[in-house]
Structure 1
Amino acid sequence: MNSDCGNIIRQTVKKNVLLAVGIVIAVCGAVVISLLPPLVLAKMIDAMTQKQNVGFTFVALYFGLTALTGVMEASREGFLTVFGQKITHALRSSLMEKFTRLTADSLNKQEPGALVSRFVGDVDTVENLFTSGIISMFADACRIISILAVIWFQNKGLALVLFILLPFLFWFTRYVQKNMLAAQVENRRAVSRASGHVPETLHNIRTIHNLSKENYMEKRYDEYIQQSYHAMEKTNFYDAVYSPVILILNAVVVAVVMLLSASGSPKVLTLFGMSAGTAVAVMNYISQIFTPLESLGMEIQTIQSAIAGVQRINEFFALPEPAPKQHENTADSKPVQNNGKSFVEFRDVTFGYDEHTVLKHLSFQVEEGEQITLSGRTGAGKSTVFKLLLGLYEPGEGSVWIDGREAAAIDRKDRRFLFGYVEQSFHRVAGTVKDQITLYDEKISMENVKEAAELTGLHDTIMHLPDGYDTICTPELFSQGQWQLLSIARAAAARPKLLLLDEITANLDAETEKEVLEALKRVSENRTVISISHRVSAKMGRIIPIEQKL
């Protein structure tokens, strides 16, 4: 399945045609209607200066158009926000679909921070592309052009002045915005360094005290704060300068035009002559034209950031996916042993990471119900054996079989009911104690949950919690040994045929290790078990040596 930002956005537009039409109507309507109230006001003032009665219709029309302008603006913002959220949802859903299709090898090559930024920062910039980028820029550009067109028909001299002035004003706006953005980025970096400095200091507090480095750490923190302070000073300076310059420029333009329109010179009045009502309308338009001009600069910056975000998202979508493979249970796929009872089998497996070969021509068999321990020095490839069994990688040569099926070809929905994996440390998910065991799998019943907890000896402990199995899990809810027992319960809850145990007692003291091993003995009964352990007390059954062959 090939996908990219462009396709996802087009599909989202197709699914939300009415919303897209609403956005177009709101954008165009807001631009057109905003031009009308000053013209109505001009007619009213001209009528009053000529001592004519201004009817209630004109007054109602003026206030009605003003209110309608506000409604159209609000509608535009509301429609854009909803559309942006739909784009965000579609992008993140597609990214997650892509994520689940990638191999462990592809994901391991991605920097975790960069990967997270695809889902968060980059997607947000694409949302901003629509909520405050392309559509807003189009609306602001239309508003500027339409105001200039109206002014041209009302006062050609002022229109010429604005045509000359606007390029300079736009350059000044972009100059200020770029410098503010650079200062804000520097401030965020400084704040990030200062924020990271605090936990770093706490983490190394004993070393700091032992080496008497308190003053050094304080000085470093003060430097980061000063960097943030100087960056904020720049931001505040440009922010403080910009608004007064715009206001003064606005006042100067109005004053010059008013003076020229009252000069009395026929040649000057040809360009700048206007009635009192037109003067009021013109002043209103001048004040309106500066706001979209300022917004244009920010919208260009938003679009530039969004384009970079789109490129990074498309790079993620372009990551290669494993080709679907058809694995048939032919005679060639049967276990090599004559009795045909091998439950787990490595057949002449060679595997490596990039150019580094870890396993070379590895072969072994594990019978159903047998318990074995993989032994070997650090780096020999014991954990790699587990990754191949879990289907996270495919062998470069040879094949890996579980219960008559190639490990990499086992359907994901079947894996948890075929094998359970217990790691060195427990990885908690958001939710209740029950959720920790089921991992939100509805196929695992409450009966299965309680059975797994009882096998590990955790049932009574859980029942003494405030809400039993429905107690929300927090880091301090269980001891380290109890978390490991919960990890075993998680693996056993689906009643798998095979248990994979990866150094599960490595971080436990002797007493806790004994408790975990007793629980493990109960859980392992009538199951095939493959374990990794350096501790003699934790080794189970037959020993299979794993040696890295050079």
Structure 2
Amino acid sequence: MKKKNDHGVFAAVRMAAASHRLLTVGTVLCVAASVAVSLLPPLLLARVIDRLTAGLPLSFLAVLLYFGSLALEGVLTSAQESLLVLFGQRMTHALRSEMSRKLSRLPAGTLAEQNPGEVAARFSGDVDTVEALFTSGIISMAADACRIVSIMGVIAVKNTGLALILLLVLPLFAVFTRYVQKRMLAAQLDNRRAVAAVSGQVPETLHNIRTIRALGLEDYMERRYDRCIGDSYAAMERTNFYDAVYSPVVLLLNAVVVGIVMLLSASGNAQLLTLFGMSVGTSVAVINYISRIFAPIESLGMEIQTIQSAMAGVRRIDAFLDQPERTIPPARREAARGDVEFAHVTFGYGERHVLKDFSMTVKQGEQVTLVGRTGAGKSTVFKLLLGLYQPEAGTVTIGGVKVGDITDRERRTCIGCVEQHFSRVPGTVLEQITLGDPQITGEMAKDAAALAGIDAAIRALPEGYDTVCTEGIFSQGEWQLLSIARAAAADPAVLLLDEITANLDAETRPACWRLCAVPPRAARCSLSPIASMRILAAERSRSGAGNNI
């Protein structure tokens, strides 16, 4: 069990920063050098102008130092941006890796309850905002804050009156900035929710496209999509409004402050001149510094907006990473083999119980068919036996071992399952059967394909078993046979067949029923062992292993 501070966005970032220590230190030093060097050009320019107004000759060294300071400032600023981008990429790579590990450790029940589009949005959009948190957020904000403090210090030395005016103006500006922040954060959160809804709508539409077209629901789906897009646009319009208002306010304050200082410094009043009096060179430097102090303030506001937006993504990612993980059972010496037993099992989805005090025992070597109406709980029995869900009460065991205690490595050789729909993975036809499991050799996969009756169709492909698997290379019935081969390849002790004839065509179905251990009138049964599986089970039965359920 991980401690609270051992996971989350910032924990992943700390670990990534520690593993890239040179990059982290280099980024911080570059930012500090960039802030320090940015103070030099106005001071050097003031000295040059004061010498010229005093009638002194302009030295080549002074000009060289001024333009050199500008060049150095540009180089350091460019290096800062490059390092920040690289640092942000390293952080997001570490964060996505941590999220991928978390995804593999979540219980199947938790994943089944979540919107796939929303989960995908956390991996893409939310992580991108976290990258912005480092490339144009926290570090840039710290640099701009240091730049503002440094400029205020120089201005206080050069023109005390201007420093006092800025001390009065900046708190008011901070209040205005905070006002904008709150409303932009609310708009960002609304936009994130709308984008997640849009992301979920697209795969939902693609998955159900046949049903949508068969029932003529195109207009309905289009209206749903437009509504989600409209919510996103409305949230973005609110964000853009505050963004559009913010920059002009900064520029107006800049102009007002410069105008006030220039008027006061030219007033001729002795008392005012003690606060606002300055040389021509100093006035040029002060005007330059005023522009430089409002520029980082404007950037600071945008960076705070970026941070606010990123924090919305951080909260969503933290909520994802905070979900309870499934328990990984320790390795065991003895294999789970023997009778399958459901002992007083109660389970439901939400408040609705599908199974209540359900008990069943399947002896080793037996074949059992579950028959029942849709929703009676046949597939739920499978999910419990596969360990995808944990019963609310009672136990599910194989050979006296709780299914929750079966390790991931052992599970495939212990339980095989043929579902109603084939789940294709990227790769060749052979990889559809082996699923990259090194325990399953090519010969085992081909034997399983022959057993399921799909071997001839595979060998007829251009590259046989090495053909890259695409959507149209098999019919619905052949996909189902390939699913049977996948389940049988590991020679599992328990084989689950969930309405395996549902997707078989008219020619294949009668042949399948002739191979079944039950007559055709049991077409509505959830578990229908075909002869090849029954023969395989019989062979295992003679050797003292295996159930076919």
Share of identical aligned residues, percent?
53
1:516 CA drift (Å): 5.8
Structure 1 CA distance for aligned equivalents of residues 408 and 226 of structure 2? 52
Structure 2 CA distance for aligned equivalents of residues 38 and 388 of structure 1? 73
Aligned CA distance change for structure 1 residues 391 and 376 (closer, same or farther; 3 Å): same
1:527 CA drift (Å): 2.8
1:504 CA drift (Å): 1.9
Contact kept, 8 Å, 2:421 with 2:480, in 1: the verdict is yes
1:88 corresponds to: 92
Contact kept, 8 Å, 2:345 with 2:396, in 1: the verdict is no
1:284 and 2:279 are equivalent in the alignment: no
1:487 CA drift (Å): 1.6
1:158 CA drift (Å): 1.9
1:24 CA drift (Å): 1.9
Aligned 1:145-224 pairs, distance under 5 A: 145-176=149-180, 204=212
Structure 1 CA distance for aligned equivalents of residues 43 and 157 of structure 2? 12
1:371 and 2:367 are equivalent in the alignment: yes
Contact kept, 8 Å, 2:118 with 2:197, in 1: the verdict is no
2:273 corresponds to: 269
2:7 corresponds to: 4
1:292 CA drift (Å): 1.8
1:296 and 2:293 are equivalent in the alignment: no
SS at match of 1:371: coil
Q: Give the letter aligned to residue 480 of structure 2.
A: Q
1:270 CA drift (Å): 1.8
1:358 corresponds to: 355
1:416 corresponds to: 412
Structure 1 CA distance for aligned equivalents of residues 140 and 130 of structure 2? 14
Q: Give the letter aligned to residue 412 of structure 1.
A: D
Moved more, 232-241 or 78-87: 232-241
Structure 2 CA distance for aligned equivalents of residues 264 and 384 of structure 1? 90
Please point out which of 442, 445, 460 is paired with 1:446: 442
Structure 2 CA distance for aligned equivalents of residues 508 and 223 of structure 1? 39
Structure 1 CA distance for aligned equivalents of residues 69 and 449 of structure 2? 69
Structure 2 CA distance for aligned equivalents of residues 102 and 231 of structure 1? 32
1:142 CA drift (Å): 1.0
Q: Give the letter aligned to residue 147 of structure 1.
A: I
1:403-452, Cα deviation, whole Å (9 max, x unpaired)? 56443222211222233211100112233333322223344333333333
Aligned CA distance change for structure 1 residues 515 and 305 (closer, same or farther; 3 Å): farther
Aligned CA distance change for structure 1 residues 448 and 292 (closer, same or farther; 3 Å): farther
1:346 CA drift (Å): 0.6
1:503 and 2:499 are equivalent in the alignment: yes
Structure 2 CA distance for aligned equivalents of residues 266 and 188 of structure 1? 58
Aligned CA distance change for structure 1 residues 176 and 110 (closer, same or farther; 3 Å): closer
Aligned CA distance change for structure 1 residues 495 and 132 (closer, same or farther; 3 Å): same
1:32 CA drift (Å): 0.9
Contact kept, 8 Å, 1:437 with 1:490, in 2: the verdict is yes
Q: Give the letter aligned to residue 417 of structure 1.
A: T
Structure 1 CA distance for aligned equivalents of residues 183 and 240 of structure 2? 11
SS at match of 1:137: helix
Structure 1 CA distance for aligned equivalents of residues 342 and 235 of structure 2? 62
Please point out which of 527, 538, 546 is paired with 2:537: 527
1:122-173, Cα deviation, whole Å (9 max, x unpaired)? 5444444333333222211111111111111122222222222223334444
Q: Give the letter aligned to residue 362 of structure 1.
A: S
Aligned CA distance change for structure 1 residues 124 and 252 (closer, same or farther; 3 Å): same
Structure 2 CA distance for aligned equivalents of residues 179 and 328 of structure 1? 56
1:16 CA drift (Å): 2.6
Q: Give the letter aligned to residue 157 of structure 1.
A: G
Please point out which of 40, 51, 57 is paired with 1:53: 57
1:356-412, Cα deviation, whole Å (9 max, x unpaired)? 3615251322323x4332223334432232223212244556544435644322221
Contact kept, 8 Å, 1:347 with 1:364, in 2: the verdict is yes
SS at match of 1:526: helix
1:197-253, Cα deviation, whole Å (9 max, x unpaired)? 9969986566569xxx97x99999888888777777666655555444433432333
SS at match of 2:361: strand
Q: CA RMSD in A?
A: 4.2
1:388 corresponds to: 384
Aligned CA distance change for structure 1 residues 194 and 373 (closer, same or farther; 3 Å): closer
Structure 1 CA distance for aligned equivalents of residues 313 and 236 of structure 2? 26
1:492 corresponds to: 488
1:489-525, Cα deviation, whole Å (9 max, x unpaired)? 2223333343211112224443243466669544553
Contact kept, 8 Å, 2:416 with 2:487, in 1: the verdict is yes
1:486 CA drift (Å): 2.2
2:341 corresponds to: 346
Contact kept, 8 Å, 1:327 with 1:406, in 2: the verdict is no
Q: Structure 2: which 5+ runs fail to align?
A: 517-529, 540-546
1:296-350, Cα deviation, whole Å (9 max, x unpaired)? 22333444444454444444444444566679899xx99xxxxxxx833215342
Structure 1 CA distance for aligned equivalents of residues 468 and 264 of structure 2? 75
Aligned CA distance change for structure 1 residues 63 and 94 (closer, same or farther; 3 Å): same
Structure 2 CA distance for aligned equivalents of residues 184 and 372 of structure 1? 55
Q: Give the letter aligned to residue 302 of structure 2.
A: M
Contact kept, 8 Å, 2:189 with 2:312, in 1: the verdict is no
Paired residue total: 519
Q: Give the letter aligned to residue 51 of structure 1.
A: G
Q: Give the letter aligned to residue 140 of structure 1.
A: D
Contact kept, 8 Å, 2:341 with 2:362, in 1: the verdict is yes
2:521 corresponds to: none
Moved more, 282-291 or 115-124: 115-124
SS at match of 1:383: helix
Q: Give the letter aligned to residue 527 of structure 1.
A: A
Structure 1 CA distance for aligned equivalents of residues 360 and 535 of structure 2? 26
Aligned 1:86-165 pairs, distance under 5 A: 86-108=90-112, 110=114, 112=116, 115-165=119-169
Aligned CA distance change for structure 1 residues 367 and 22 (closer, same or farther; 3 Å): same
Aligned CA distance change for structure 1 residues 38 and 466 (closer, same or farther; 3 Å): farther
